[in-house]
């Protein structure tokens, strides 16, 4: 397909700018010529061509609205349309962030109440909504830990992270000056308690766990983990990426979690937009609230206001107040589902994952064979051994059948990992059809491995040359 | 199958080779076995000339599409030359790891350190064991 | 309302296959004493109709002002209808990050085109697929400079947006870097003597903004040699993206990084977010910059296609050695920006000119009032600082008319005394401006 630049013709435009209704002044009388530029070399197309270009591009893109999207650890649940519709109300979209608070009581109410709802769901004392995404929430959470020890006058230099963790965990820790120490998993996929005990010394700021972990397994020894970390004065951090597993079933705060970050674009149904915007609230236990980012919404009587003065705060991580419009969607979702709906969502997500696990267990290796939470992790080892078909081939073959593949090669401790997260919004028919396809591919891998290895055959492009893309980077048209 | 490991040089357990070039200098690179494990190499981050390194400390980085690996210095010393060819053509490491795909030349602090490395036969034995 | 499709019969069949009697059994790994017995204490769930009514009610507690005179990092621009239309296509907004390239060619190509347009607009060779916002883009550029040069001092000008300075401060504190603030001069441009004194061979980066927080255009060509002479890197930021349509881009004048807020390109003000951070650099930093990059390549049949590339820079591969932990970005906002730029094309310059003229008119009219006087002499884009007898009274009068007034500089710049930062975009008509002037007179 042509690039928009290749469709450009000098003199065309898709927009007109109003004529100036103020007195004509030469621009060079206002700004010196040496500070001005020539035209930006942007594409010139008519409106209809613009629309057709992007409509064609959209048809070359796969979203939840197109088909089943069991991408593990990403929680690609259905994005309810009412959320989108209300988020586009002019009251939410057209207000300047520095509007006087009397003009923005609705926005402040949403943020204030969303914080309360999240605190109740996760058993935390309070949440900050400023972080723009999960990774920024995580960074903010580690900053809170750093500030906590700084204020206590304790020098702690390390953070413990299990070997199943997502790559952001070590990256966030390193950006706060911590060195990262890996804790290995035990035979049943949980934290190795013996090793944790050894590693959890006085110079360790805390442990970052993901619960349920990236194997989709709930940390059975969570009480022990919490006890070991806390006895040494450490902070127990939970990456809440997998929060869709336990809403209404248990509260992280009750389990001893001191800091948690969420991903509203996973758990709370806000769409992921091809990679963002997200929203990554951070929740903390009571004595850490004073370290959260500023400003914070407060309520005086019936009136909401902004408060900036929190001297022990880590400061600000983002301009204004966070991704407000994403919060509107998450708020709408919580108001739609209520406590019963949230509980049912998590229960069904877990039911669906266990159902897939049962249906596929005869066909793919299951390295950790126990009840899973909202996702299940298989290994494609058997297929590699039997016919040289790798997990990446199976993923590509799924494209031919009209599915978005599961997450693959993660977590790193499972060779040829296939991580399936079905979500609660999928029907039994969808799950069955997907399982039937996975079984059909397992058979293809045996009988006709070359077919699987050459997939995809039906997509708009075939397998792309990633080596060429990395060796001869072309990230800007016309520059190579 | 990787190419045979030449007997004219020494090997580290992290899969680097070092060839004594006389006058207290060595030429070094990664082994053919290493390039095979890494698959298609897309970028080599070369050390700066003059950089001082200790034996088995990271001195360069090789990247494939989905991995990043340190290259460890087989000896302590100072980097005196790097293989500029790799900046434009990292694939040379895949094609000729023991020859044109060399990474750097170093002036050794202590030539005796070469004795800490393996000879070709022992290295070949080691990678055979790794496979099992 | 929930979105679970299972019937009781579906659920029965599924539990039977799993081999359990009730769904509760699936939660057996949660220690019994931590299992919630009752329901969460939240408002009850509602039907879609009730929720729609509820949300309309809350939105009506926000004003939809007829006139906005506030800029200061978020800008009120007209958004062509095509922008909302394109980003409402759910093939785009319900997709995840395009890791499976073959079924994500749509967004990958759109991002590749976005990167190209941003590189052209900033005068740079490389632009990434977006960051969270302008402030975090600036902070990440500073961190990258420090890590690349192994230097720990960051110099920032006081005329950089106060919240950007705070974000840089937070990221620098976390990394253990020192931040030194230098003043602006009488003209409103940065104080070059102070810059030259502050930059030394420990300095990793100099962070400036143009147009700066006061709307003043900086003379980057004059600043650049002072920064590079000490081996430091120049990070030039902007908060008002449309200014790129007419001002000579920092990339053409020797900046190493151009970062900024892309909201002005087709994204509504949204009470502060989501927006998009623009991050552009010279070729030299291609393999070091944070965030995602879409790159062109070919498929096995030689057909052009796009992939996420140079992923070894990113946290999921480099882990604790990554220079950034960014993962999600603001892809849909970047798509909006791309559609906006395509829609305007060469008219971006005309739009920028219109902004300059409206601001010039507002500034001239306000300057006619007794006791009102422009504070800075250097050229401005669509914002300017004006001294007036009683800023709070002026804003109160505007608010009483339902108008979002100007930014009161007292809190962040006490040294400027009674001063307001006004912004005029193409959204203000001459009548609006005349009305504003008569209201504050």
Output the CA–CA distances (angstroms, integers) from residue A60 to A239, B60, C194, in the order listed.
Answer: 33, 40, 53
Assess if residue A74 is contained within a domain: no
- Low pLDDT (below 70) residues in chain B: 1, 132
Of A218, A464, A470, the CB nearest to C305: A464
Asked if B91 and A466 come within 8 Å (Cβ–Cβ), the reply is no
C270 with C367, same domain?
no
Q: What is the pLDDT of residue C438?
A: 98
On whether both A188 and A90 belong to a single domain, the answer is yes
Q: Which DSSP symbol is given to C313?
A: G
Domain check: are A52 and A139 in the same one? no
Q: How far is C435 from chain A (nearest CA, A)?
A: 14
Report the residue from C89, C176, C429 with minimal CB separation from A21.
C429
Q: What is the pLDDT of residue B28?
A: 98
Q: Which of C36, C219, C298 sits opposite A249 (nearest CB)?
A: C36
Judgement on whether residues C433 and C364 belong to the same structural domain of the protein:
yes
Instruction: List all chains that touch chain A, counting a touch as 3 or more CB pairs closer than 8 Å.
Output: B, C
B21 DSSP assignment? E
What is the value of pTM for the model shown? 0.97
Joined together, the tokens standing for residue A297 give 């919404």
> C-alpha angle with apex C325: A210 to A230, nearest 5 degrees?
40
Q: Which residue of B has its CA nearest to C317?
A: B67
CA–CA separation, C267 vs A325, rounded Å? Answer: 11
CATH of residue A361's domain is 3.90.1150.10
For residues A148 and A265, membership in a common domain is answered with yes
Residue A2 has pLDDT above 70, yes or no: yes
C312 plus C181 within the same structural domain:
yes
CATH number at residue A221: 3.40.640.10
Residue that is last in its domain, among C316, C344, C372:
C344
Indicate whether A333 and A350 sit together in one domain. no
Q: Is the CB of C321 less than 8 angstroms away from the CB of B63?
A: no
Match 């799924």 to its residue by tokens. Answer: A398
- pLDDT on residue A188: 87
Same domain, C150 and C193: yes
Give a three-class secondary structure readout of A275-332. CCCCCCCEEECHHHHHHCCCCEEEEECCEEEEECCCCCCCCCCCCCCCCHHHHHHHHH
Do residue C103 and residue A399 have CB atoms under 8 angstroms apart? yes
Minimum distance, in Å, between the CA of residue A446 and any CA atom of chain C: 24
C217 close to A35: Cβ distance less than 8 angstroms: yes
Q: Are the beta carbons of A77 and C3 separated by less than 8 Å?
A: yes
Count chain B–chain C contacts defined by CB atoms under 8 A: 17
* A392 in the same domain as A368: yes
User: Whose CA is closest to C332, among A130, A278, A86?
Assistant: A278
Task: Tell me: do C388 and C251 sit in the same domain.
Answer: no
Mutant choice from B35, B38, B40 vs A, greatest count of A C-beta within 10 A: B40
Chain C residues near residue B64 by CB distance under 8 angstroms: 312
Closest residue on chain C to B64 (Cα): C312
Asked if B68 and C311 come within 8 Å (Cβ–Cβ), the reply is no
Amino acid C80: pLDDT: 98
CA C54 to chain centre: 30
Q: Tell me the average pLDDT of chain A.
A: 97
Please give the structure tokens belonging to residue A82: 């009412």
C-alpha to C-alpha distances, B126 to A22, B58, B70, B118, nearest whole angstrom: 81, 21, 20, 9
**In chain C, how many domains are there?**
2
CB-based contact (8 Å) between C318 and chain B?
yes
Can you tell me which residue has the tokens 């997998």? A242
Do residue C297 and residue C311 come from a single domain? yes
The answer to whether residue C130 is domain-embedded is yes
- Tell me the helices (H) and strands (E) count for chain A, helix number first: 16, 12
- In this structure, the answer to whether residues C411 and C308 fall within a common structural domain is no
A480 pLDDT tier (thresholds 50, 70, 90): low
Checking if the pLDDT of A99 tops 90, the result is yes
Q: Are residues A205 and A130 in the same domain?
A: yes
Contact C106 A58 (CB under 8 A): yes
Q: Is residue A377 part of a domain?
A: yes
- Cβ distance C317 to B67 less than 8 Å, yes or no, reads yes
C265, C326 contact by CB (below 8 A) = no
Q: What is chain C's Cα-based Rg?
A: 25
A243 assigned to some structural domain = yes
Do the Cβ atoms of C59 and A466 come within 8 Å?
no
Picking from A22, A211, A262, A470 by the largest number of C CB atoms within 10 A of its own CB, the best residue to mutate is A22
Residues in chain A closer than 8 A to C213 (CB atoms): none
B108, with CB counted inside 10 A (0-12, 13-18, 19+), is buried
Contacts of B40 in chain A (CB under 8 A): 467, 471
Q: A25 phi and psi, to 5 degrees?
A: -130, 140
Q: Under 8 Å CB-to-CB from C121, ≥6 apart: which residues?
A: A40, A42, C244, C245, C249, C341
- φ/ψ (deg, to 5) at C79: -110, 115
Q: Which residues contact A394 (CB under 8 A, 6 or more apart)?
A: A380, A383, A405, A418, A438, A441, A445, A452
Q: Is the dihedral of CA C340, C346, C348, C354 positive or negative?
A: negative
Residue C418 is assigned to a structural domain of this protein: yes
Q: Could C136 and A132 be called an inter-chain contact, meaning their C-beta atoms sit closer than 8 Å?
A: yes
In angstroms, the CA A54 to CA A61 distance is 11
C 265-294: CB under 8 A from B: 287
Q: Is C311 in the B-facing interface, judged by CB distances under 8 Å?
A: yes
Instruction: List the Cα angle A282/A283/A289 in 5-degree steps.
Output: 105
Question: CATH code at C293?
Answer: 3.40.640.10
Residues C403 and C329 in one domain: no
According to DSSP, the β-strands at C383-387 and C373-374 are antiparallel
Q: Is residue A478 part of a domain?
A: no
In whole angstroms, give the CA distance from residue B36 to residue A337: 53
Q: In terms of domains, do C307 and C323 share one?
A: yes
Q: Do A471 and B42 touch (CB under 8 A)?
A: yes
Specify if A64 maps to a domain.
no
Residue C17 lies in a domain: no
CB atoms within 10 A of CB A351: 26
> Which residues 216-235 of A have a C-beta within 8 angstroms of B?
none
Whether A76 is in a domain gets the answer no
Residue where one domain finishes, among candidates A12, A27, A59: A59
Q: Would you say B112 and B29 are in contact if contact means Cβ atoms under 8 Å apart?
A: no
Q: What range does the domain containing C396 cover?
A: 67-76+346-440
pLDDT at C192: 97
- C435 to C175, C373, C374, C405, C428: CA distances (angstroms): 49, 19, 19, 13, 10
> Which residues of chain B neighbour C312 with C-beta distances below 8 Å?
42-43, 63-68
Q: Per residue in C224-279, pLDDT tens?
A: 999 999 999 999 999 999 999 999 999 999 999 999 999 999 999 999 999 999 99
**Residue in A23, A43, A341 closest to C45 by CB:** A341
State whether A292 and A320 are in the same domain: yes
Domain termination site, one of C344, C361, C384: C344
A470 — contact with chain B (CB < 8 Å)? yes
In-domain check, residue C59: no
Q: How many CB atoms lie within 10 A of CB A9?
A: 10
Candidates C221, C84, C76, C227; CA nearest to C156 is C227
Q: Residue B132: its pLDDT value, please?
A: 61
Closest CA in chain C for residue A354:
C18
Tokens of B41: 């190499």
Strands (E), A146-281: 158-162, 179-183, 204-210, 235-239, 259-261
The tally of domains found in chain A comes to 3
Chains sharing 3 or more CB pairs under 8 A with chain C? A, B
Contacting residues of B for C317, CB less than 8 Å apart: 66-68
- The answer to whether residues A386 and A371 belong to one domain is yes
User: Which residue in chain B has the smallest CA separation from C287?
Assistant: B43
Boundary-marking domain end, from C302, C322, C344: C344
Q: How far apart are CA C151 and CA A442, in angstroms?
A: 54
Q: Which residues of chain C have pLDDT under 50?
A: none
Q: What is the tens place of the pLDDT at every residue in A333-384?
A: 999 999 999 999 999 999 999 999 999 999 999 999 999 999 999 999 999 9
Q: Which chains touch B (3 or more CB pairs under 8 A)?
A: A, C
- Measure the CA–CA gap between A180 and A186, rounded to whole angstroms: 19
Asked whether the beta carbons of residue A471 and residue B90 sit closer than 8 angstroms, the reply is: yes
Percent of chain A with pLDDT over 90: 98
Residues C332 and C387 both lie in one domain: no
Domains and CATH numbers, chain B: 10-127 (2.40.50.100)
Please judge whether B67 and C311 are an interchain contact, meaning their C-beta atoms are less than 8 angstroms apart. Answer: no
Q: Are the C-beta atoms of residues A163 and A412 closer than 8 Å to each other? A: yes
CB-based contact (8 Å) between C418 and chain A?
Answer: no
Judge whether B121 is closer than 8 Å to chain C, CB to CB.
Answer: no
Under 8 Å between Cβ of C378 and C189: yes
Nearest Cβ partner for C40 among A39, A254, A339: A339
Kindly determine whether residue A371 and residue C29, on different chains, have CB atoms separated by under 8 Å: yes
- A474 belongs to a structural domain: no
Are both A283 and A377 inside the same structural domain?
A: no
Examine the domain organization and report whether C213 and C243 are in the same domain: yes
Peptide bond into C34 cis (omega under 30): no
C contacts of A473 (beta carbons < 8 Å):
286, 293, 295, 309-310
**Cα–Cα distance for residue pair C140/C127, rounded to 1 Å:** 14
User: Do residues A169 and A239 lie in contact, with contact meaning Cβ atoms separated by under 8 Å?
Assistant: yes
C103 occurs within a structural domain: yes
Domain end position, chosen among A301, A316, A337 = A337
Does residue A27 have a pLDDT over 80? yes
**C109 contacts A57 by C-beta, under 8 angstroms:** yes
* Residue keyed to tokens 């000098």: A10
Task: Judge: A471–B43 Cβ closer than 8 Å, yes or no.
Answer: yes
Do residues C236 and C250 make contact, with C-beta atoms less than 8 angstroms apart? yes
- B68 CA to chain A: closest CA distance, Å? 13
DSSP string computed for A316-383: -SSSTTS-HHHHHHHHHHHHHHHHHHHHHHHHHHHHHHHHHHHHHTTTSB-SS-S--SS-EEEE-HHH
Does B91 reach chain C within 8 Å, measured CB to CB?
no
Q: Are residues C192 and C330 in the same domain?
A: yes
In a domain, A11, yes or no: yes
Contact B103, B44 (CB under 8 A): yes
Alpha-carbon gap, residue C59 to C253, rounded angstroms: 45
Sheet containing A407-408: order of strands: A376-379, A417-420, A407-408
Strand-strand pairing, A282-284 and A126-128: antiparallel
Q: Which of A409, A466, A470 sits opposite B43 (nearest CB)?
A: A470
CB proximity C148 to B under 8 Å: no
Q: Report residue A302's pLDDT band, with 50, 70 and 90 as the boundaries.
A: very high
List the CATH number of the domain containing C416. Answer: 3.90.1150.10
* Residues of C in Cβ contact (< 8 Å) with B67: 312, 317
User: CB-based contact (8 Å) between A467 and chain B?
Assistant: yes
What is the pLDDT, as a whole number, of residue B1?
66
Q: Please, is C438 exposed, middle or buried when counting C-beta atoms within 10 Å of its C-beta (0-12, 13-18, 19+)?
A: exposed
Q: A198: domain range?
A: 81-337
DSSP string for A146-169: HHHHHHHT----EEEEETT--THH
Closest by Cβ to C248, choosing from A36, A65, A341: A36
In a domain, C354, yes or no: yes
**Burial degree of A429 (CB within 10 A; 0-12, 13-18, 19+):** exposed
> Are A210 and A259 part of one and the same domain?
yes
Q: Does B51 touch chain C (CB under 8 A)?
A: no
CA quadruple C207, C236, C215, C137: dihedral sign: negative
**Residues of chain B with a CB closer than 8 angstroms to some CB in chain A:** 40, 42-43, 63, 65-66, 90-91
Angle between helices C331-344 and C105-122 (to 10 degrees): 60
A172 and A25 co-located in one domain: no
């Amino acid at each position: 397909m042509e690039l928009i630049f290749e469709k450009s013709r000098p003199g065309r435009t898709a927009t007109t700018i109003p004529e100036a209704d103020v007195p004509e002044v030469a621009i060079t009388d206002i700004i010196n010529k040496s500070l001005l530029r020539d035209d930006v070399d942007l594409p010139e197309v008519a409106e209809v061509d613009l629309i057709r270009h992007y409509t064609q591009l959209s048809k070359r893109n796969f979203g939840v609205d197109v088909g089943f999207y069991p991408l593990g650890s990403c929680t690609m649940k259905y994005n309810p349309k009412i959320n989108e519709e209300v988020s586009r109300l002019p009251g939410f979209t057209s207000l300047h962030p520095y509007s006087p608070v009397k003009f923005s009581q609705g926005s402040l109410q949403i943020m204030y109440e969303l914080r309360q709802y999240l605190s109740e769901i996760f058993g935390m004392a309070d949440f900050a909504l400023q972080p723009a995404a999960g990774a920024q929430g995580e960074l903010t959470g580690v900053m809170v830990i750093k500030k906590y020890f700084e204020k206590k006058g304790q020098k702690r230099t390390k953070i413990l992270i299990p070997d199943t963790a997502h790559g952001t965990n070590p990256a966030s820790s390193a950006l706060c000056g911590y060195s990262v120490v890996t804790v290995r998993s035990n035979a049943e996929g949980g934290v190795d308690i013996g090793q944790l005990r050894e590693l959890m010394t006085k110079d360790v700021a805390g442990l970052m766990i993901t619960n349920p972990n990236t194997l989709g397994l709930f940390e059975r020894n969570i009480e022990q983990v919490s006890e070991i970390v806390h006895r040494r004065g450490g902070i127990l951090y939970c990456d809440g990426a997998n929060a869709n597993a336990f809403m209404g079933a248990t509260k992280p705060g009750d389990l001893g979690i001191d800091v948690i970050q969420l991903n509203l674009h996973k758990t709370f149904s806000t769409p992921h937009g091809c990679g963002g915007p997200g929203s990554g609230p951070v929740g903390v236990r009571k004595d850490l609230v004073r370290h959260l980012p500023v400003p914070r919404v407060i309520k005086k009587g019936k009136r909401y206001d902004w408060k900036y003065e929190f001297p022990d705060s880590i400061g600000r991580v983002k301009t204004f107040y966070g991704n407000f419009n994403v919060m509107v969607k998450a708020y709408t979702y919580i108001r739609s589902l209520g406590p019963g709906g949230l509980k049912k969502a998590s229960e069904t997500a877990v039911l669906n994952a266990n159902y897939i696990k049962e249906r596929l267990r005869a066909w793919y290796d299951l390295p950790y064979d126990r009840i899973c939470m909202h996702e299940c992790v298989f290994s494609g080892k058997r297929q590699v051994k039997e016919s040289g078909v790798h997990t990446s081939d199976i993923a590509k073959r799924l494209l031919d059948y009209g599915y978005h593949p599961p997450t693959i090669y993660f977590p790193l401790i499972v060779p040829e990992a296939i991580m399936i997260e079905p979500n609660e919004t999928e029907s039994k028919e969808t799950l069955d059809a997907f399982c039937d396809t996975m079984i059909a591919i397992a058979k293809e891998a045996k009988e006709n491995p070359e077919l699987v290895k050459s997939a995809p055959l039906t997509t708009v492009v075939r397998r792309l040359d990633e080596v060429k893309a990395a060796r001869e980077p072309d990230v800007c048209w016309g520059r190579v | 199958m990787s190419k045979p490991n030449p007997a004219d040089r020494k090997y580290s357990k992290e899969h680097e080779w070092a060839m004594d070039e006389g006058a207290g200098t060595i030429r070094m690179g990664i082994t053919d076995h290493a390039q095979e494990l890494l698959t298609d190499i897309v970028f080599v981050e070369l050390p700066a000339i003059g950089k001082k390194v200790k034996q088995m400390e990271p001195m360069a980085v090789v990247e494939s599409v989905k991995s990043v690996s340190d290259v460890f210095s087989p000896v302590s010393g100072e980097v005196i030359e790097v293989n500029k060819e790799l900046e434009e053509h990292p694939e040379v490491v895949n094609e000729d790891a023991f020859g044109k795909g060399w990474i750097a030349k170093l002036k050794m602090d202590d030539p005796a350190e070469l004795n800490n490395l393996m000879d070709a036969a022992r290295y070949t034995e080691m990678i055979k064991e790794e496979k099992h | 309302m929930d979105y679970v499709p299972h019937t009781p019969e579906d659920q029965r069949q599924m539990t039977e296959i799993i081999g359990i009697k009730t769904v509760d059994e699936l939660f057996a790994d949660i220690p019994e004493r931590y299992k919630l017995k009752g329901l969460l204490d939240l408002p009850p769930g509602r039907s879609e109709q009730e929720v729609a009514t509820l949300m309309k009610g809350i939105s009506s507690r926000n004003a939809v002002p007829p006139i906005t005179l506030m800029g200061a990092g978020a800008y009120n621009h007209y958004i062509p209808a095509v922008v909302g239309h394109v980003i409402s296509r759910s093939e785009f907004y319900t997709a995840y990050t395009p890791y499976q390239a073959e079924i994500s060619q749509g967004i990958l190509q759109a991002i590749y085109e976005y990167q190209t347009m941003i590189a052209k607009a900033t005068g740079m060779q490389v632009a990434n697929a977006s960051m969270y916002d302008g402030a975090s883009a600036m902070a990440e550029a500073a961190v990258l400079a420090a890590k690349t040069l192994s230097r720990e001092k960051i110099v920032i000008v006081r005329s950089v947006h106060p919240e950007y300075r705070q974000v840089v401060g937070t990221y620098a504190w976390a990394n253990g870097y020192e931040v030194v603030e230098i003043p602006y001069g009488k003209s409103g441009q940065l104080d070059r003597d102070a810059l030259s004194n502050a930059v030394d061979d420990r300095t990793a980066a100099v962070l400036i903004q143009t147009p700066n927080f006061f709307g003043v255009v900086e003379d980057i060509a004059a600043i650049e040699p002072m920064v590079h002479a000490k081996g430091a890197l120049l990070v030039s930021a902007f908060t008002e993206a449309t200014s790129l349509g007419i001002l000579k881009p920092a990339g053409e004048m020797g900046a190493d990084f151009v970062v900024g807020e892309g909201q002005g390109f087709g994204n509504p003000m949204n009470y502060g977010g989501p927006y998009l951070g623009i991050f552009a650099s010279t070729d030299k930093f291609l393999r070091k910059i944070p965030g995602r990059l879409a790159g062109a390549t070919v498929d096995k049949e030689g057909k052009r296609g796009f992939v996420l590339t140079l992923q070894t820079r990113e946290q999921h591969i480099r882990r604790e050695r990554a220079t950034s932990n960014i993962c999600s970005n603001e892809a849909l906002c970047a798509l909006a920006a791309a559609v906006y730029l395509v829609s305007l094309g060469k008219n971006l310059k005309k739009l920028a000119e219109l902004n300059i003229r409206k601001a010039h008119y507002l500034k001239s009219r306000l300057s006619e009032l007794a006791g009102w006087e422009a504070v800075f002499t250097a050229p401005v884009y669509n914002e300017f600082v004006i001294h007036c007898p009683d800023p709070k009274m002026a804003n109160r009068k505007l608010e009483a008319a339902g108008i979002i007034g100007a930014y009161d500089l007292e809190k962040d710049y006490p040294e400027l005394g009674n001063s307001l930062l006004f912004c005029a975009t193409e959204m203000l008509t001459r009548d609006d401006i005349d009305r504003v002037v008569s209201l504050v007179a």
